[in-house]
Amino acid sequence: MHLEGSPSMTQTKPSPGLFKRNPPIVGEAEAIESAKNGDAEAFSKLYALHKRRVYTLCLRMLGNVSEAEDMTQEAFLHLFRKIGSFRGESAFSTWLHRLTVNLVLMHLRKKGLQLVSLEETINPSEEDAPKRDFGSRDPQLSGSVDRVALERAVGSLPPGYRMVFVLHDVEGFEHNEIATMLECSTGNSKSQLHKARLKLRELLRQTEHLPELKEAVQ
Amino acid sequence: MNDGGASLDLNTMTPSQFEEHLPELFATHNGRISDDPAFSSFLNHHPDCAALVRDLEYIAEAARSLLEPAQAEPSDAVWNSIQGKLKIAAAGDEP
C-alpha cells in the first residue's frame, strides 16, 4: 500500500460532510503550523487533541488493545514525519483518520492478507452472516438509548463487516473511498455495510437493545 | 442495479426483492428511505419492510454518535514511546 500519493491520501476532493462532522478545534490550526516547523510542544498538543479518536479508531478496526496502542504510536510517528504535506484541504482530523486507516490496513495485510485480496478475506463465515428472518418480528419498537450496547455489538461483528461499518457509518467515508482503501468494489462495500447493519440488528435484538437505540436517535 | 432504484417497480416488488435492492437504495438515497414519498406506499403495504428500513436507519444514525470516542485512551506508555523515538530520530539528524 502506498500512503503517499495514493488515492486515499490525496486531498483533491474534500468532503463537506466530513468537514461538518470534524469541525476545526480551537488552537489546532496554530499547533499544526508550529508542528510543521518542528515544534515539539505543538506536536504534543496535537497528540493530546487527537489521541482518543485515533486510538478508538484503531481499537475498533483491530479489536485488540495492544495492537491498537501500537498502531496509535505508528500513526502519530507517521504524522510527525508527514505533517508538512498537510495542506488544509480537508479537516485535519479527517486527514489524520485516513492516514491511520491506511496504516492499520497495511498492518493487517502484513499480518497475512498480502496474498489474498481483502475483498475475499473480509467475507465472514456462514454462521457469522446475518440471518434472513425477514418479517419475523413485531415492527413496533420503543425504549431508551444504550451506546454501550451498540459499541459492544459493533465489537462483536465479524472483522470484514466491522471494518466497513466503522469506516462508513462511524467515520463517514464514502463507498468509493472505502473501496479504494480496502481494494474492493463499491458494490462489495455497499453489500458488506448492509450485512453489517443486518447483523447489528440481529445482535441488538438478541440483547433487546434495539428499542433503546431507536429512542436515542429520535 | 445501478440506477439507484429509479426504474424499480415498487407495485410488483416482493419484500425479498426489496431487501435485495436495499444496499443500493440506501447508498443512493443518502441512507434514508423512510422519508422518501416514492417508497411510502410500498412501506405502508409491507410493515415488515418498513420495520427493517426503520431499524437499519436507526442503527446507521446511532453509529454517528460513536465518532466521539468513549473514555478509553492509549496508555501513557504510548506517548512516552513516541517521544523516545522522536528524540532518537532527532539525534540521528544532528551532524
Structural domain A118-217, CATH architecture: Orthogonal Bundle (1.10)
From-to residues of CATH 1.10.10.10 in chain A: 118-217
Torsion of CA A143, A146, A152, A155, to 10 degrees: 100
Highest mean pLDDT of the ranges A81-85, A138-142, B6-10: A81-85
Rounded Cα–Cα distance for residues B43 and A184 (Å) = 32
**What confidence score (pLDDT) does residue A214 get?**
61
From-to residues of CATH 1.10.1740.10 in chain A: 7-113
CA distances in angstroms from B4 to A141, A150, A195, B27, B31, listed in the order given: 29, 29, 18, 8, 12
Mean pLDDT of A165-180: 92
Q: Output DSSP code: residue A90.
A: S
pLDDT of A145 over the 50 cut: no
For the packed helices B47-63 and B37-45, what is the interaxial angle rounded to 10 degrees?
130
Report residue B27's pLDDT band, with 50, 70 and 90 as the boundaries: very high
**What confidence score (pLDDT) does residue B2 get?**
42
Mean pLDDT of A94-121: 74
CATH annotation of A7-113:
1.10.1740.10
Torsion of CA A191, A197, A202, A208, to 10 degrees: -170
Rounded Cα–Cα distance for residues B60 and A165 (Å) = 9
Q: Output DSSP code: residue A137.
A: S
Cβ neighbours, 10 Å, residue A87 = 8
Interface A–B counts its CB contacts (< 8 A) at 125
Q: How far is B78 from chain A (nearest CA, A)?
A: 6
Q: What is the pLDDT of residues A10-59, one digit of tens each?
A: 444 444 444 455 666 778 999 999 999 989 899 999 999 999 999 999 99
Rounded Cα–Cα distance for residues A179 and B32 (Å) = 21
Domains in chain B: boundaries? 15-69
Residue-averaged pLDDT of chain A:
77
Q: Is A135 left (phi over 0), alpha (psi -120 to 50) or beta?
A: left
Q: Using an 8 Å CB-CB cutoff, list chain B residues near A210.
A: 55, 58-59
Highest mean pLDDT of the ranges A41-50, A175-184, B57-66: A41-50
Residue A138 in grid coordinates: 413485531
Tell me how far the alpha carbon of residue A205 is from its chain's centroid.
24
Positive or negative torsion for Cα A78, A83, A85, A86: positive
More confident call, A210 vs A192: A192
Report residue B72's pLDDT band, with 50, 70 and 90 as the boundaries: confident
**What confidence score (pLDDT) does residue A120 get?**
44
B interface residues, A as partner, C-beta within 8 Å = 15-16, 19, 22-24, 26-27, 47-48, 50-52, 54-56, 58-67, 69-70, 72-75, 77-79, 81-82, 85-86
Residues 6 or more apart in contact with residue A181 via CB below 8 angstroms: A8, A101, A102, A105, A167, A173
**What confidence score (pLDDT) does residue A95 get?**
92
Tell me, yes or no, if A52 comes closer than 8 A to chain B by beta carbon. Answer: yes
More confident call, A20 vs B29: B29
Q: Which of A166-170, A208-212, B61-65 has the lowest average pLDDT?
A: A208-212
Cβ within 8 Å, pair A139-B72: no
Q: How far is B93 from chain A (nearest CA, A)?
A: 13
Of A73, A134, A169, the CB nearest to B63: A169
Rounded Cα–Cα distance for residues B95 and B87 (Å) = 14
pLDDT of A121 over the 50 cut: no
Cβ within 8 Å, pair B15-A139: no
A154 to chain B: closest CA residue:
B63
A77 to chain B: closest CA residue:
B82
